[in-house]
Amino acid sequence: MLRHGRNPLVLPPLQLTREPITQDKIDAHALLSHLHKSLNDAKDTLLAAKISQAFEANKSRAVSSPFPYAVGDNVLLSTLHRQQEYVSQNGKRAPKFIARFDIPYLVTDTHSSTSTVTLNLPNSPTIFPTFHISLVKPFLPNDDIAYPHRAIDELQEFFVESIIDHRTRGRGHQFLVKFQGYPEGLEDKRK
């Protein structure tokens, strides 16, 4: 087993006989006991290696982590299985341009035993509302305090005060623009 990787043919066990014991029988008995000891040591080492590998692999797995969603949470729904619906609205659309996740939906029920969540889908009454958690991800709203100029409201509008610089990039042009109402040092590049 140790040398060839497969179990050898089982030799008949040695039986104690009443015949006189010769030196050949003593050597054969010692060889068999050495083989059995080596085989048991190899099995123990393999078992210890499997336990060690399983322990290291399970360190990063979420085997007993709490369910990540609760009733009332907002989640984004994957559009992976609805690409055909997107293309069928207009024959000229390409599914690679569809957004990867839909608008936030409200979680109405959770099923931790099956790792699924039920969502409130008011605009899609024909879609079954229960999805596996691999198809949803948490919705994180914009933080206006940390990133004040990322979200532009409908009422927020900026006018160009001056064009500071420009350059040609390929077939297009890039402009460095100063907007009215922006604080100094927050110039924005627009094409």
Domain boundary assignment for the chain: 1-65, 74-138, 142-191
Q: What is the pTM of this model?
A: 0.46
pLDDT tens track for 147-158: 766 655 555 667
Residue 69 tokens read as 């969603």
CA–CA dist 135, 5 (Å, integer): 44
Note the pLDDT tens digit of each residue in 96-140.
778 888 889 999 999 988 889 999 988 888 889 999 999 999 998
CATH numeric code, 142-191? 2.40.50
- What's the CA angle centered on 7, arms 4 and 9, to 5 degrees? 110
User: What stretches in the chain show pLDDT beneath 70?
Assistant: 1-2, 5, 7-25, 62-65, 86, 88-91, 148-157, 183-191
